[in-house]
Amino acid sequence: MYSYVLKRLLSAIAVLFGASLLVFVLVINSGDPLQELRESNADNVEFLIQQRISFMNLDEPWYSRYWIWLTGIAGCAVGACDFGTNMSGQDVGAMVANSASSTLRLVFLATILSIIIGILTGIVTAIRQYSSLDYAVSFFVFLFFSLPVFWAAVLAKDWMGITYNNWLREPNFTWTQIIIVAAVAAILVPLIIGGSARRRLLTGAVMFGFVMVVMPAMDSMNYAREPRLGPAVITLLGIGLAFGLTALLSGLRNRRVLYSALTVVGIGLVSYYATFWLLIDPPGGWLTIAGLFLVTIAVAVLVGRTMGGHAKGQAVAVSVITAALFAVMVLLDHFMRAWPGFLGLKPRPIATIGSSSPNFSGDFWEVALDQGTQLVLPTTILMLVSVATYTRYTRSSMLEAVNQDYIRTARAKGVNERTVVFKHAFRNSMIPLTTIVAFDFAGLIGGAVVVEQVFGWSGMGNMFVTGLSSSDPAPVMAFTLITGAAAVLFNLIADLMYAVLDPRIRV
């Protein structure tokens, strides 16, 4: 194993070296970095030209310039990276530190959401192959996959940003809007749930009536500007999660698993009140929240192993997922409580330009809301394309797996369908998905270049485009190195995960 990893790392260094050399040669030959100054009428133009030549080492041959950059990067081995300076004399390393945080925050969130939504959608469509749901999802998947990113980003700015901000000044639903939403819900929900024609009609009627009651009630409570969740709703949703996850992963007949999940919900309700005042203004910020989340997971594992009996594995899985989702709802409740105050500081919350609001001041939750609303539009755009990819690959992998002999054998032996789908079929279909995740993360960084330009983010994509347009190699090389290193690292992780998912594979 160690020799394999060492070989892959050495080959990765060779690949990065070749890619960096090629990119460097292309960038320095793409234009004249002194053209702007040669056309200038400034009195000190000669001084500025000499200064830029010094910053960019233009008085050196190309191979010497590349060697200077390469020796600076080699310092990363001892923790002393030197990315060089750009044409203005700014340290590119400092630029990368500021830009990478914005871009990686955007790409990481889009990746996680894409994986969760795409894989779940792919599993459901594979189980219900050739159903109306399968055809509908396939239509939207191909639609999202074929959308030009820049065009979708402009539409999102108009519809999800500007239009929503205008509506939020005096939020209210017209009866036409309520009827349209109720009709869409009455069609989509039965399509997702499935069942007989009678069951679908009943589900559609219930959903239509539910929306017709809930939306006017939300208007009367001014829910758009003063949302609330509260411990009662969180507890009811937690109980629903406990039953739903138990039914999905182990079956409701397994009472020990169900009781473990319900115990986690009860502990979560006690923790809601115990940590309420602490979370109003967390002393350590996100570190405090992360610490509480780890404690929550640890307690869920303990409950699952203590109460799970012979089904400890399933009890731990259900308890951990229930606890994690309960914790997310608690955080959502605190965000909702901060929403009215946030609207007082930022009346138009969904930003269409920039990664943060300049000179924004507020408490912890208000600042977090500002950063979160800045992520809504670009994350949604990046996520759409990736969700389509994960859905199609998951569906095809699952369909290939369920037609294998070992799946027929499991069903013939009487194994319940839940175990067949999740333990046998899905685990074996994860191998090609692991490869897709590795490539998709690096691909999302490339897609962020376009998204950052549309939304005016000061991230790595903006740094790359600026450097490329001015024939400035240092920022472009930094972007290439980080993107290439991410691609190589994730591919190495994917190779190692193969052996974990399938013991027959040995590296």
Query: Nearest 5 degrees, angle CA 165-CA 171-CA 173?
Result: 120
Distance (Å, rounded) from C-alpha 225 to C-alpha 343?
A: 8
Q: How crowded is the C-beta side of 472, counted as CA atoms within 13 Å?
A: 26
Q: For residue 22, what pLDDT is reported?
A: 92
pLDDT at 211: 93
Can you give the pLDDT at residue 341? 92
User: What DSSP letter does each residue of 218-240 carry, written as one string?
Assistant: HHHTTTTTS---HHHHHHHHHHH
User: What distance in Å separates the CA atoms of residue 218 and residue 189, rounded to the nearest whole number?
Assistant: 21
Q: What is residue 1's predicted lDDT score, i.e. its pLDDT?
A: 66
| Contact (CB, 8 A) for 457 and 355 | yes
329 CB-near residues (< 8 Å, 6+ apart): 229, 234, 237, 238
User: Residue 410 has what pLDDT?
Assistant: 85
Query: Is the Cβ–Cβ distance between 309 and 256 less than 8 Å?
Result: yes
By the 8 A CB rule, do 305 and 312 touch? yes
Judge residue 250's burial from the number of C-beta atoms within 10 Å of its C-beta, 0-12 exposed, 13-18 middle, 19 or more buried: buried
Question: How many CA atoms lie less than 13 Å away from 502 in the CB half-sphere?
Answer: 15
Asked whether the beta carbons of 122 and 393 are under 8 A apart, the reply is yes
pLDDT digits (tens), the chain, 507 positions: 677 778 777 888 888 888 889 999 999 888 888 888 887 777 788 888 888 888 888 888 888 999 989 888 888 777 778 888 888 888 888 888 878 777 878 888 888 888 888 888 888 888 888 888 888 888 888 888 887 888 888 888 888 889 999 999 888 888 999 999 999 999 888 887 777 788 889 999 999 999 999 999 998 989 999 998 889 999 999 999 999 888 878 888 888 999 999 999 999 999 999 999 999 889 888 999 999 999 999 999 999 999 988 888 889 999 999 999 999 999 999 999 999 999 988 988 988 887 777 778 888 999 999 888 888 888 888 888 788 888 888 898 888 888 888 888 888 888 877 778 877 888 788 888 887 877 777 777 777 778 888 888 877 888 888 888 888 898 999 888 888 888 788 888 877 777 777 777 665
Residue with tokens 């411990």: 231
Quick one: three-class SS letters along 139-198? Answer: HHHHHHHHCCHHHHHHHHHHHHHHHHHHHHHCCCCCHHHHHHHHHHHHHHHHHHHCCCHH
What gap in Å lies between CA 495 and CA 501, rounded to an integer? 10
> Hey, which residues does 91 pair with through a beta bridge?
85
**pLDDT of the residue at 506:** 61
